Amino acid sequence: MLKGGPGKTTSAWYLALAMSRRGEKVVAIDTDSLSQGLSDWHQLAISAGLTVPFAVRQWFGEPRGLAAFVAMSAAEVGATRVVIDTGGEQADMFGAACVVAQQLIAPVGPMLGEIRRVPATMEAAARADAIAPIDCAVLLTRVSQPGRGAAKDAREALEQAGAFVLATEIGDRRTEFASAWGTVPADLSEYGRLVEELETERQAA
């Protein structure tokens, strides 16, 4: 998502956890040199003596070097899945990640300011798709009433704009997520269902 704050790092962390607990060997790549959020979360968890069931690597070099770094990192740990966390204001790195990835998951809250940034995000992904195919999907996050109210309105607005919106919705758990930073939560809640949905989409593609 080409915007800061919609929950990219949180989604990346929980996705990597959920994939790992399904038996996948996962490496998560932090490409956000501005916040380094994924690396920070990982470092805090390790410092607290927690077991993180996936590897975390950093790539803050040139975007054109990302593909080779991802391939090397995946081979290094024998990864069956790679999760790439990109910064909201780093369009070049976002584009490089889209060229490498098979699926783009754009976390979006049911707020107009975030919904309005989706077309630009998908246009950037479409430019990458011309180089290497990528499936694009929107993940509704921070919804107070999944499937109703603002979430329903956001889904309708996004679908009218031509976006594919995942069926899984992430509830408004900002307080819980804030306290989860640096932890390895046992309850993955909706993210477990999200991984199942993404796997179904991947197999159908």
Of 121, 102, 100, 101, the closest CA to residue 163 belongs to 121
Full-model pTM: 0.91
* φ, ψ (nearest 5 deg) of residue 29: -110, 120
From the number of C-beta atoms within 10 Å of its C-beta (0-12, 13-18, 19+), residue 147 rates as exposed
Asked: is 8-204 a CATH 3.90.650.10 domain? The reply is no
| Spatial contact of 114 and 3, defined as CB atoms under 8 Å apart | yes
Query: Quick one: which H or E segment has residue 107?
Result: strand 103-108
pLDDT at 175: 64
| Spatial contact of 90 and 78, defined as CB atoms under 8 Å apart | no
The pLDDT of 171-175, averaged and rounded, is 75
Q: Give CA–CA dist 38/30, Å, rounded.
A: 6
Cα torsion 40, 42, 47, 50 to 10°: value is 150
Tens of pLDDT, residues 55-100: 999 999 999 999 999 999 999 999 999 999 997 778 899 899 999 9
Tens of pLDDT, residues 24-54: 999 999 999 988 999 999 999 999 999 999 9
Tens of pLDDT, residues 99-151: 999 899 999 999 888 898 898 888 888 887 778 778 889 999 989 888 889 99
Tokens 């584009």 sit at which residue?
95
Q: What is the CA radius of gyration of the chain?
A: 16
For the cut 70, the answer to whether the pLDDT of residue 174 exceeds it is: no
| Spatial contact of 29 and 65, defined as CB atoms under 8 Å apart | no
